[in-house]
Structure 1
Amino acid sequence: MAMTLRIDDELERALAALAEAEGTSRQEIVRRAVLERHARSGHLTRVQESSARLLEQWGDVLHRLGTA
């Protein structure tokens, strides 16, 4: 699937530098960046959901510890 991406000069310089440093294409740099961002986003959601469950289960204990 093809896609056109419009970028400014700053992003062009950054892409070119990363591609050269990593020995890969600018397309691959963008691809990796999007996939990494997606993975981090999913991780953050899982952490927030887990924190909410733990807070619901242990919130009273944590509150007592915090005010002791």
Structure 2
Amino acid sequence: MAIKLRLDEDYARKRNELAQRVGMSKHEAVLHAIDEEYNRMTHRQRVTDALNQSVERWGDALEQLGQ
């Protein structure tokens, strides 16, 4: 699917600089940025889930020790 991406001057400059620095096309730079944010988002969720599980486990253990 194709979309038209409208960028203001600042975002266009950043996209152009990113593409130039990593040696890819402007299109690839946008896809790369999407991939990077998606990976960060899913990583944060996995870390949050793991932390919540640890808190539940340790919370139960500490509660039992306190009894």
Q: Does the pair score TM above 0.5?
A: yes
Pairing 1:22–2:19 present: no
- Number of aligned pairs? 63
User: Quick one: structure 1 residues 25 and 54, their matched pair in 2 at CA, closer, same or farther if it must change by over 3 Å?
Assistant: same
For structure 2, the 5+ residue unaligned runs are: none
Residue 12 of structure 1: aligned partner: 12
Cα deviation, 1:23-62, whole Å, max 9, x if unaligned, reads 2111101101101111111111111111111101102667
Q: After TM superposition, where is structure 1 displaced by more than 6 Å over at least 4 residues in a row?
A: none
- Over the aligned positions, Cα root-mean-square deviation in angstroms equals 1.8
Partner of 1:44: 44
Gaps in structure 1 of 5+ consecutive residues: 64-68
Name the TM-score, length of structure 1 as normaliser: 0.79
Q: Percent identity?
A: 37
Q: Separation in 1 of the partners of 2:56 and 2:6? A: 45
